[in-house]
Amino acid sequence: MFLWFHKLGSPPHFYRIAGKWIPWLNWIFLLLLLAGLYGGLWLAPPDYQQGESYRIIFVHVPAAWMSLFIYVVMAVCGAVIIVWRMKLAEVVLISSAPIGASFTFLALVTGSLWGKPMWGTYWVWDARLTSELILLFLYLGVIGLHNAIDDKRTAARAVAILALVGVVNVPIIHYSVEWWHSLHQGASLTKFEKPSMPPSMYVPILIMALAFQVYYVLALFQKCRVELLRRERNSKWIEEL
Amino acid sequence: MSHRLSLTQAFVFLLRRDLLLALRNRAEYAMPLLFFVLVITLFPLALGASPELLARIAPGIVWVAALLAAMLSLDSIFRSDFEDGSLEQILLSAHPVAMLVLAKVCAHWLVTGLPLLLVAPLLAEMLGMPSEAQPTLLLTILIGTPILSLIGAIGVALTVGLRKGGIILSLLVLPLYVPVLIFAASATETAATGFDPSAQLYMLTAFLLFSVSLSPWATAAALRMSVS
């Protein structure tokens, strides 16, 4: 197990494995996406209050989950970078940032499109919207800092520190903004309580969440492969490809 | 070397050195203060001089201006030391870097944060803030501005090696300032409406303790990265 993990950490090995997985992940993602969309857009009944327009949550909620999840992944990579200086973790951290930023942006856009018919406005300065917006800024900060430093290994260490500082701050920002003002509905799905919606609604959300996870891994693998090629362009294993 | 400094001595020495440097270079502490006053002057000009409006938004204005003034002055914490090489000496010293960083941050706060305390009552009066809110405003500045210096130090340490660190610095640091802004402004506003602001003040104090205990370590790690 440890050996497997160790091997996965070596760039040429990861490059090969990721290349093999990508076609499979493609199919799994496509299947999950179609299943989730079919369940969400056809099978699920319309909401008794919100009618058909609630259906955007099948994209919105999983995207919002992913935006937080990816930030945590980045912070974990950050810790790995600082402790073990693992090259692959650097690549994963850097490649995750744009994907996470896109999910955050997607959550914001779908949320405001939903807000127009429901709340009558695209944007309110509500707690969750605001903290999601700040999360987007944190992502952009990571991307910006990485671009600003020329030496990519130094840049990765800088970004690792930033991601760790950010992840300590995310809950603080979240709760302080929550305290400040909230209009958003409470969490729809929690682990411990019975969901406040019927299975025909929450099962598609879960399938979509899974599809987004697979998409994240898929996009991550592709980005990592490109980043590896760029960083290691002078090394021997790339010449052998 | 025959003479070795204890940690406390090193801390005090570094603090005194930074204060002395700031004292000899007046612009360093005058500029953020001037900027603070200028930004606050802009708000009535942009929003109109209606006294009710200004009194209502005064806590927010003062705090946004304090945030921007802190941003502007952050670069000076490590920039000159980085350029003349004394930062490397600090990193090489036998003492824990986090403590020395704390000394530098203290000096920075004494030079740029504390003066805000002196002009804030004047500006609050000019904006028509109710007088019962003014002690709270001063208290939030007293508790809040050290947090700004502490968090800002991490950002500066990350960007000090860059040629154009300034714009990146604001992108890194401003999102992290959000909780301070929220609680400080809300405490002052609560006091202005005649309620008890102690809940927000306790939260701010908690943030301060939290950042005093954690931020020097992150800053030290970031400095090692920047200098290497």
**Given this model, what pLDDT does residue A195 score?**
58
Contact present, A200 and A118 (Cβ < 8 Å) = no
Nearest of A182, A136, A184, A142 to residue A162 by alpha carbon = A142
CB-neighbour burial class of residue B53 (10 A; exposed 0-12, middle 13-18, buried 19+): middle
Residue B148 domain flag: yes
Mean predicted confidence (pLDDT) in A3-11: 73
pLDDT band, very low/low/confident/very high, at A2 (cuts 50, 70, 90): low
Nearest CA to CA, how far is B100 from chain A (Å)?
A: 19
Domain ranges in chain A?
Answer: 12-239
Residues above pLDDT 90, as percent of chain A: 41
Exposed/middle/buried for B79, CB within 10 Å: 0-12, 13-18, 19+? middle
CA distance A168 to chain B (A): 10
Say if B2 falls within a structural domain.
no
| Interatomic CA distance for residues A222 and A93, integer angstroms | 13
Yes or no, beta carbons of A145 and B214 under 8 Å apart: no
Say what the pLDDT of residue B4 is.
75
* Interval A93-134: pLDDT, tens: 999 999 999 999 999 999 888 888 877 888 888 777 888 899
The whole-number average pLDDT for the span A6-32 is 87
Residue-range definition of the domain harbouring residue B41 = 7-227
Q: Using an 8 Å CB-CB cutoff, list residues of chain A that contact chain B.
A: 82, 134, 137-138, 140-141, 144-145, 148-149, 154, 157-158, 161-162, 164-166, 168-169, 172-173, 176-177, 179-180
In chain B, what residues touch A97 (CB-CB under 8 Å)? none
- What are the pLDDT digits (tens) for B28-76? 778 888 999 999 999 999 988 888 888 888 888 999 999 999 988 888 8
Residue B2 has pLDDT above 70, yes or no: no
Highest mean pLDDT among A62-66, A119-123, B224-228: A62-66
> Is the pLDDT score of A33 beyond 60?
yes
* Residues with Cβ within 8 Å of residue A30, at least 6 apart in sequence: none
Using CB atoms, which residue from B158, B171, B179 is nearest to A158? B158
- pLDDT tens-digit map of B168-218: 898 999 999 988 998 898 899 888 888 888 888 999 999 999 999 999 999
Asked if B93 and B100 touch (Cβ cutoff 8 Å), the reply is yes
How close does chain B come to A105, measured CA to CA in Å? Answer: 16
Predicted confidence (pLDDT) at residue A152 exceeds the cutoff of 90: no
B165 Cβ contact partners less than 8 Å away, ≥ 6 residues apart: A148, B75, B156, B159
Residue A184: pLDDT above 50? yes
d(CA A100, CA A105) in angstroms, rounded, equals 9
- What whole-number distance in Å separates Cα of residue A113 and Cα of residue A47? 17
Separation of alpha carbons A124 and A23, rounded Å: 41
Task: Give the total number of structural domains in chain B.
Answer: 1
Is residue B96 in some structural domain?
yes
The beta-carbon neighbor of B182 closest among A161, A162, A176 is A176
Phi/psi for A9 (5° steps) reads: -70, -15
What would the pLDDT profile of A37-54 be if each residue is shown by its tens digit?
Answer: 888 888 877 776 777 778
Amino acid at A156: A
